[in-house]
Amino acid sequence: MGEITAALVKELREKTGSGMMDCKKALAETSGDLEAAVDWLRKKGLATAAKKAGRVAAEGLVAVVARGTRGAVVEVNAETDFVSRNEQFQALVRQVGQVALERGDDLDAIKSFAGSNGTTIEQQLTALIATVGENMSLRRAKVLAVKKGVVASYAHAAVAAGLGRIGVLVALESAGDPAKLAELGKQLAMHVAAANPQFLSIESVDPAALEREKAVLTEQAAASGKPAAVIEKMVAGRVRKFYEEVVLLEQVFVIDGETRVAKVVENAAKAAGAPIAVAGFVRFALGEGIAKETKDFAAEVAAQLGPAKH
């Protein structure tokens, strides 16, 4: 049985919103397995669907850059939000995006790229760390490309052009009107930023994720005490709802609030004069999945001052 630490209980509480004692019990019942504990709480009706998959827990910037049939998104982290407003840091993150667009998303290749002055990206980052006094890192990069069509980009909560807290790329494969494709791509990128889909299509849903969801839904439905045939229909309906929540083409378009994204693409294809296929998308949210240390400064000060004297 894994050790059930206070940190593990805290993480489960943040993921599910459940009470501390419920979280401790869930971890005890699942031998300290965090994901199994999430499912245990959901099955008992003690937690909502765990949608907080990636907490924003680090600072810095996400950069997006797109040019015709190719686009790149990168994340460079720093310790404080203050650094994201630093012009030198912004310039470096923007350069990292351009390098990724040209050289691909291998981090070692990006770091080793040297500009006209002979200084590599890694050396520039090291120099900026020394100048600003904060730790920084090039965390990740992703490139999307299509043979014919458009890769569109969108930066949400932008502090400058192409730099923000969320960066999205959407790749559209089509021989249609480039202007129409660019317009659709930008709208879909804004949708992805807001709706945070996990998969492109029903066919691309991870089988393990689907089976896990079905197991939770089946146990929830079984608790109703209804006949097996009714439970089967209940689960089928809830799986359909699951798809509508996590699959891009099945989601309701956030811009009009009523049309499925797949239908939006179909309608846009008529206007563009050629079929449109959504070839892929990428969404980077700043700091998602990185645990960030939080400090209780009041407690620290109290500890340093010692017991209160009366």
pLDDT higher than 90, residue 289: no
- Among 65, 39, 11, 8, CA closest to 289: 11
How far apart CA 201 and CA 278 sit, in angstroms, is 9
Our CA dihedral for 91, 94, 95, 100, rounded to 10 degrees, sits at 160
Contact predicate 165/285, CB 8 Å: yes
Structure tokens at 80: 């404080």
| Rounded Cα distance, 179 and 172, in Å | 12
Percent of the chain, pLDDT > 70?
Answer: 88
Q: Classify residue 5 as left (phi > 0), alpha (psi -120 to 50) or beta.
A: beta
Q: What angle do CA 249, 251, 256 make, to 5 degrees?
A: 110
Average pLDDT across the chain, whole number? 87
Q: How confident is the model at residue 17 (pLDDT cuts 50, 70, 90)?
A: low
Percent of the chain residues topping a pLDDT of 90? 57
Of 151-160, 195-204, 299-308, the least confident: 299-308
Question: How far is the C-alpha of 188 from the C-alpha of 182, rounded, in Å?
Answer: 10
pLDDT digits (tens, 9 = 90+) for 89-115: 999 999 999 999 999 999 999 999 998
In angstroms and rounded to an integer, the radius of gyration of the C-alpha atoms of the chain is 23
Structural domains of the chain, ranges and CATH numbers in brackets: 1-52 (1.10.8.10), 59-176+277-285 (3.30.479.20)
| pLDDT value at residue 52 | 34
Phi/psi of residue 162, nearest 5 degrees: 75, 5
Per-residue pLDDT tens over the stretch 152-197:
999 999 999 999 999 999 999 999 999 999 999 999 999 999 999 9
> Taking the mean position of all CA atoms in its chain, how far away is CA 14?
17
26 vs 38: CA distance, rounded Å: 8
| H helix or E strand, kind and range, residue 291 | none
pLDDT by residue (tens digit) across 25-83? 889 999 998 888 888 887 776 554 344 333 333 799 999 999 999 999 999 999 888 89
Q: What is the mean pLDDT of residues 232-252?
A: 92
Model pTM?
0.75
